[in-house]
Chains A and B, each alone.
Chain A
């Protein structure tokens, strides 16, 4: 452990000298997606707020600028020093998520935000990166020291605390993102495959229990709207519920976009407000309606580039804990992209997960850009280390 740290210290000096090993693919892919997201926001929300056609656009623009500043700030981060305060970070993350339960403000039946006057903060979003960092450090430090089963249990335990708090807000989607981050880290850490089989089995059992068995005996763990959202994608066509309508309109928006799209001014499902949540969780359907299979396919392509670069950085990482941070972030981005687009096209349950760099929202926009900054930072450090190793 101490040798590892000494080696990176010397590298950092070199890395500081210039932007050696900056991953341009990842940076440009992320910035392009963010700019495209702002453009789509402008076109999609023009008539959403009467008298203020730029309401969502100007805010998303500001969030993105803040996020990009944070991204570049992350490049200069001293990860080693930060890793020493892992328990402090964990405590702050859990406390801020927990604070929402006490101080939080509600919207649409869910309490996820803390009102800071100027902005509303969603701590559960910011905690995603913190969790990836904390778990990565914890696992890396104990990887060959602790018995694998105990390590898996400990990691899951650490993740469960914030996950359960978030689940109670209730915010099922974000708690699932925590789970994805945790599993990504454990997977790349090389934990035995039996652990994942076991976890998978437990998840399936839980889903069956919560959705079907417990309600049958009169015990409802989830809110009715949550059950509706989770199961509506199974029922073909609109079932008359809010979630069924949402999904139906999303499919109509995407399908009507055709191969080449209807253009920003012809996307009537979006601009005439038939598609609810078109600026947040269902912004992918907007892209598909405006720019067709071509545009939506290209966007998926760019997401693939971002995930691919995250994996490359994972390989390049100079240290085990950096590698695991990258794994957690890669898992987070892949999970968010797949689940969000999956629910837009009707093959995944509606779980309220935003699309990275596209969906409206300050906290998740900043968080995802910070996560990319962290990835870039790890990549630079890894390349610098490789350069030292080569000489």
Chain B
């Protein structure tokens, strides 16, 4: 009988020890789980801020939709599986598809709703409403999604929104984002995320096991805060004109694989228009099926590549304005000097040919820019080669080439390339071609006309020509104009805070270059005259054509210029890949863009002729 009592004592002691373990030693964990059971956060989404052009015309807005969502915590066990199977029959997806979504959400944020279907169609809304009882844990939740009133317009610079990427999830969660939030993933959507983001309202309620709100009900709450409106410096008229012109030129050229253009306000660096062709629909990344996204990502035309900031092309003859500035500034050429410019030039026992071997006689620098003489610039290149130092490279870099411009976009901008001795040493083949490991006269000669290894982006060229146009200031191109509130009052100025850098070029020198560019667009022999020659005097354009040789055998067409020539309000750079001669393909697009910005009749633009 004593053994009986002994057994009872041992058994009850085991219970007390176990109880101590649960209630004292490991109570904290269980308390958190009891709280997690009892508390549910109800999220009220806040709309993301709109993005408008400089006049306030909306480019991107937020539209309210109803999403079909699941509460992962309510979809456990056999009942949860049953619900998802039921739902999968109604939506026509395999149950695994939903199970995977719910299981993933359960791991990352078990008490937040996970979206099963965006923008639920009305018949499905009705289906779910009628079967609330059979679908515990499934709800319709108000949400906002991006709407694009002008479709693909400005897609590259606007960028797109989408769910938080797995690799950046931690950083977003640390900033107080919810796991299922939609964030800016590219373009100004990403760059200005902190202003555009709408902060969701959170209401914490006490619930019972069946999901009913009980007890004290609302425990804490915060109201949703809509995102702020981002006003861009883009002018929707100019943007439309540029995009239409690029598309026209690509189609007209037949062989073309794409085109890009940038229009800047040359004094401030404000981007008036920026486009790349082919383009894409931004909503694909928020709402598209994986297959649709994949199609955009793998399309042979590379529509996601923003050619305006990320496309690197040989600058060709548009570079001659840089060479001219460098020669004047470093004393390689003095104003008024005449240089013989034959069809080809024998230098260092090598014959360097000019474009179509056309001879221009003995001409000054402005005339050389007008007719786009290659041999004139070969002579300047030879002088530069003989001079210690590297004036061509130095001045190219001062103009902002060979490095990112610093436009307000988080990613996608290329540096381009201004070649020098270091670059040649780095990239040459020491065994097969050791001579190429030095900087040779031919390198200077090629560089002087923007060929060889020179690579630039359309944005860089627009900035460089803006510097010529504005009297020598290198601006930082800027898409953001201001953050404004609902009534259009400016909350934060994004434009005037941007840096400008002085080139240090005397006006006399700049005037020589400007005169050359004016002649190139308007002179009797100007390469751009067929396109720009017919414009009224007060809209006179100054600019330069370019026909870039490249590995593809068909030349890229360039035009970079600004207008009005005497007091520039817009600088435009356009490149048409495999578009042929600059005066044919690119110049008309520039003229159309300028007509939209300055208000002259685009019909006055010429369509280009078969000259260089």
Contacts and interface: CB of A to CB of B under 8 A. Distances in A.
A259 interface: yes
Given A272-B38, A304-B9, A255 B26 contact: yes
A242 B7 CA distance: 32
B134 interface: no
Nearest to B207: A272
B1 A272 contact: no
Contacts of B206: 268, 272
Given A242-B77, A254-B30, A272-B209, A293 B1 contact: no
A194 to B, nearest CB: 16
Interface stretch (A20-28, A154-162, A295-303): A295-303
A252 B31 CA distance: 7
Contacts of A240: 76-78
Contacts of A342: 14-15, 18
A274 B37 contact: yes
A240 B207 CA distance: 21
Interface stretch (A98-106, A197-205, A308-316): A308-316
B1 A311 contact: yes
B22 A269 contact: no
Contact of A272 (B16, B76, B214): B214
B23 interface: yes
- Contact-residue bracket for chain A: 35 or more
B212 to A, nearest CB: 9
A173 B281 CA distance: 66
B208 A274 contact: yes
Contacts of A293: 19-20, 23-24
A251 interface: yes
B1 A345 contact: no
A292 to B, nearest CB: 6
A334 interface: yes
B430 interface: no
Interface string B1-35: 10111011101101110111011101101110111
Contact of B24 (A249, A259, A268): A259
Contact of B19 (A272, A297, A331): A297
Given A245-B77, A314-B4, A268 B23 contact: no
B215 interface: yes
B22 A254 contact: yes
A256 B1 CA distance: 38
Main secondary structure of the interface of B (DSSP, over half): helix
B107 interface: no
B18 A347 contact: yes
Contact of B37 (A269, A292, A303, A304): A269
B291 interface: no
Contacts of B386: none
A388 B30 CA distance: 57
Contacts of B24: 258-259, 293
Contacts of B30: 251-252, 254-256
B8 A259 contact: no
A253 B27 CA distance: 10
Nearest to B20: A293
Interface in A274-326: 274, 288, 292-293, 296-297, 300, 303-304, 307-308, 311, 314-315
A4 to B, nearest CB: 19
A297 B16 contact: yes
B210 interface: yes
A252 B37 contact: yes
A187 B4 contact: yes
A96 interface: no
Main secondary structure of the interface of A (DSSP, over half): helix
B4 A254 contact: no
Contact of B23 (A241, A274, A296, A331): A296
B23 A258 contact: yes
Contacts of B4: 184, 187-188, 311, 314, 327, 330-331
For A253, A255, A341, the residue with the greatest tally of chain B CB atoms inside 10 Å of its CB is A255
A80 interface: no
B27 A258 contact: yes
Interface in B70-126: 76-78
Nearest to A285: B22
A12 interface: no
A259 B146 CA distance: 52
B569 to A, nearest CB: 68
Given A268-B34, A269-B37, A273-B209, A255 B23 contact: yes
A181 to B, nearest CB: 13
Interface in A323-341: 327, 330-331, 334, 337-338, 341
Contact of B27 (A259, A272, A331, A334): A259
A47 B27 contact: no
Contacts of A346: 18, 22
A308 B6 CA distance: 10
A257 interface: yes
Nearest to B31: A256
A288 B210 CA distance: 23
B26 A338 contact: no
Nearest to B32: A256
Contacts of A296: 19, 23
Contacts of B15: 300, 338, 341-342, 345, 347
A187 B3 CA distance: 10
Nearest to A315: B1
A255 B35 CA distance: 12
A339 B198 CA distance: 55
A29 to B, nearest CB: 14
Nearest to B39: A268
B22 A273 contact: no
A254 B77 contact: no
Interface in B202-218: 206-210, 214-215
Nearest to B3: A187
Interface in B27-68: 27, 29-31, 33-35, 37-38
A34 to B, nearest CB: 19
Interface string B505-526: 0000000000000000000000
Given A272-B215, A273-B208, A273-B210, A253 B8 contact: no
Contacts of B5: 308, 311
Interface in A214-251: 238, 240-242, 245, 249, 251
B29 A255 contact: yes
A184 B7 CA distance: 11
A257 B214 contact: no
A259 B214 CA distance: 26
B18 A257 contact: no
B331 to A, nearest CB: 82
Contacts of A259: 23-24, 27
A334 B6 CA distance: 12
A204 to B, nearest CB: 18
Nearest to B81: A240
Interface string A260-275: 0000000011011110
Contact of A311 (B8, B14, B29, B208): B8
Interface string B207-250: 11110001100000000000000000000000000000000000
A294 to B, nearest CB: 9
A258 B23 CA distance: 4
A81 to B, nearest CB: 27
B534 to A, nearest CB: 79
A247 B345 CA distance: 93
Nearest to A275: B209
6 contacts: A242-B77, A255-B23, A288-B23, A307-B8, A338-B11, A345-B18
Given A311-B5, A347-B18, 12 more contacts: A254-B19, A254-B23, A255-B29, A259-B24, A272-B207, A272-B208, A272-B215, A274-B34, A293-B23, A334-B7, A334-B8, A345-B18
